[in-house]
Structure 1
Amino acid sequence: MSQDADALFKQGIQEYQGGNLEGAKSLWEQALSIYRSLENAQRQGAALGNLGAVSQALGRVEEAIAYYKQHLSLAQDVGDLPGQRNALNNLGNAYSSLPDFPQALTYYQQEWVVAQEWGDLLLQGQALFNLRQVYKVMQDRDTEQRCLEEQWAIAKQLLEKQPQDILDIAQQVGLNPLSDFAGANLAQMNFHYANLGGANLSETNLSGADLSLADLSHAQLSHANLEKAILSNANLRDANLQYANLQGADLRTILPRADLSDANLEAANLSGAYLQRADLSRANLAQANLSYADLTDVNLQEAQLTGALLKQANIDKANVNQAYFKDNPKLSSALKQHLRDKGAIVE
């Protein structure tokens, strides 16, 4: 009889995948009946979960909830933690779809407890993601933020156990790299080749991080800490780096139209950087290396360039009004006069 039930179960999967939802539901109901007669709790749970899913796909959410509750009760009776977690997750999702967020919250909270009892860090992260979405809808910002912090703690535990791609780990625990990295402590992390185009990284601590060859185009990095970060060959096109700390950073890369106004670029390496139309107004470029940099149409108004290296940088094509130059080796007398004529302060 068990083989008959298994055959019905598999046939139901084929019908479901083929779009015959009612047919799949009928086959799983038959399989469930046999599993019950055999008192096979694990297979009953699988059938009940599938019946809930197909009922929900048919738009019968209340019916789906009834199946999920049967699955949960069965899993609790036999101490099946994976089954409990699946049933609780399904119940939370079903109530969210109604939408009944207080009920969804109840089941997601239970899912979080079961995931902790089970000891599976990935499932804990996913449970926290579910909770965070409900708290967001319910406008409980403080608890939503605590859930996010817990997710980050889990992500870092996983990285310590098995170092790998931070983006992969983050996504596995329910973190969104485009929105959930803002304000996080990601110092010394490896983001080599990472796709963070358009990401919100405002106030993020990326000091010492390896961002070489990363896509950071249009990224929000205002007030971010990028001290001594490696950004060589990264794409910073149109990135917002206002007030960012880039002291000692390796910025030998492309930054066209990047907003670096009021940024700290002291001793940063911008040798050969492509900075066309970037905004460096009021930026601190003291001791920075700008040799061979393309500064065409760059806004350097009121920037601090004491001790900056400007060997063969086309500084003459930049807006240097009230920019401050002092102790700049290789700056010819003719170029100094040209900068003065354009409003720069040159000593």
Structure 2
Amino acid sequence: MQPAIRKLKILEAIVDSYIGTGEPVGSKTLCDGLDFNVSSATIRNDMSELSELGLLTQPHTSSGRVPTNLGYRIYVDKLMSVKPVSPKEQGAIKASLLLHSDAPEHLLSEAAQILSDITRYAAVVTSPPADRAYVKRIKFVQTGNHTAMAVLITSTGMVRTRLFRCDFVVNDEVLSLFDNALNDKLQGTMLVDVTPAFIQSAAISLGELSMIVPNALIAIHDAAKDAATTNIALEGQSKLLFLPEFSFESARQTVDFLNRTNDITKLLNEGDEPTRVLIGEETKIPELSEASVIISKYNVSDVCSGAIAVIGPTRMNYSKTIANTEYLADTVGTMLSGILNG
């Protein structure tokens, strides 16, 4: 066996062992576990060379070696293989998602919960981007003699509601009038275009109806403004506080970052790759310097529409976590396509 290939196999064995046990790996442990014959002296020399290359480090003088972030990077890029999610696990995931497939928001939230439960790390799912969403339908529901609720449904399946008050008695005839007039004006309008100026212009164009629809239009504007922001489903962040790989301060900083919606959304939406694995400082985010992030994009009707991610320690089962993240991304994309096109 060529020395370079042998060193890579030794690196792979060390990473696999450390991921599985959390204990530094010594030459004796490697000798017992390798599937090829090599002396302890050769293994010790190879481990020293791997350390000099920055792929391994020795936590204590008398202990074995553990992988560095660079060692994990070589492992993920060149050594490990991603094993597919088993049919049994696929069935369980699909069954859980189907129970929450009545609305996109429920589906995305359940996907985050499932991924967090499987990995025991934090999981994040972003909603389809609002900058491409438009008003699909507006409905009105009576809630009182003088009150009603505007229900805004977007092209991405998001639903936003706002209550409004009228100076006159609300009845089915009034709501039907609102429904026909306002859907005629707003259906197909991009959410980002539903501005105060647009609402004012729409009111003027309604002629005599403009006297009775201002509050309904204001409710629609507020609902559209809310729907125009990208939402995230975040689950399992508290689990990071109890992982031995993180110091309490590091875990706290990671959780603080995850609660910054704009920052986590930006991280997940970067890049064009279907799946990205960011290890430690590769995130370029100080709060995640001791963490790894696995991000898989999902497509809705063949268009990249959001991302699913796992945030955990650098010592994680990359193969299994990548497989679960990719499978959930594919399944969520398929189900969302069915919801939005159904």
TM-score range, shorter chain: under 0.3
Higher strand share: 2
Higher helix share: 2
Which structure is richer in relative contact order (CA contacts within 8 A, separation 6 or more)? 2
Normalization by structure 1: what TM-score?
A: 0.19
